[in-house]
Amino acid sequence: MDDHFHDACGIFGVYNHAEAANLVYLGLYALQHRGQESAGIVSVEERIFHCNRGKGLVADVFKRPDLDQLRGLQAIGHVRYSTAGGSANVRNIQPLVVDTAQGGMAVAHNGNLVNAVEMRRQLERQGSIFQSTMDTEVIVHLAARSQRRTLPERLVEALHQVRGAYALLAMGEDCVIGVRDPDGMRPLVLGRWPDRENTYVLSSETCALNLVEAQFVRDIQPGEMVVISAKGVESFFPFPKRASHHMCIFEYIYFARPDSTIDGINVYESRKRIGARLAQEHPVTADLVVPVPDSGVPAALGFSQASGIPFELGIIRNHYVGRTFIEPQQAIRHFGVKIKLNTNPQIVEGKRVVLVDDSVVRGTTSRKIVKMVRAAGAKEVHLRISSPPTTHPCYYGIDTPTRRELLAASHTIEEMRAYTTADSLGFLSLEGLYKAVNNGHEHGFCDACFSGNYPILFPKHEEEPQLTLLQEI
The whole-angstrom separation of Cα 145 and Cα 148 is: 9
Could you give the residue ranges of the DSSP H alpha helices within 308-451?
Answer: 335-338, 345-348, 364-375, 407-410, 413-420, 430-438, 448-451
Contacts of 112 (CB under 8 A, 6+ apart): 8, 83, 84, 135, 164, 165, 166, 395, 396, 397, 398
The whole-angstrom separation of Cα 364 and Cα 461 is: 35
User: Quick check: is 248 catalytic?
Assistant: no
Q: Which amino acid is at 370?
A: V
Contacts of 469 (CB under 8 A, 6+ apart): 148, 153, 156, 157, 238
* Residue of 9, 175, 446, 449 marked active site: 9
The whole-angstrom separation of Cα 455 and Cα 461 is: 12
The whole-angstrom separation of Cα 276 and Cα 386 is: 9
Instruction: Establish how many alpha carbons lie within 13 A of residue 339's alpha carbon, considering only the half-sphere containing its beta carbon.
Output: 14
203's enclosing H/E stretch is strand 200-203
The whole-angstrom separation of Cα 453 and Cα 435 is: 19
Taking a C-beta distance cutoff of 8 angstroms, is the pair 430, 450 a contact? yes
Task: Determine whether 313 is exposed, middle or buried from the number of CB atoms within 10 Å of its CB (0-12, 13-18, 19+).
Answer: middle
Contacts of 126 (CB under 8 A, 6+ apart): none
The whole-angstrom separation of Cα 135 and Cα 120 is: 8
Q: With H, G, I as helix, E, B as strand and everything else as coil, classify residue 440.
A: coil
Taking a C-beta distance cutoff of 8 angstroms, is the pair 470, 238 a contact? yes
The whole-angstrom separation of Cα 284 and Cα 384 is: 10
Fill in the DSSP letter of residue 389.
Answer: -
463's enclosing H/E stretch is none
Contacts of 16 (CB under 8 A, 6+ apart): 73, 74, 196, 198, 199, 200, 228
Contacts of 277 (CB under 8 A, 6+ apart): 302, 306, 428, 432, 433, 435, 436
Instruction: Give me the active site residues, please.
Output: 9
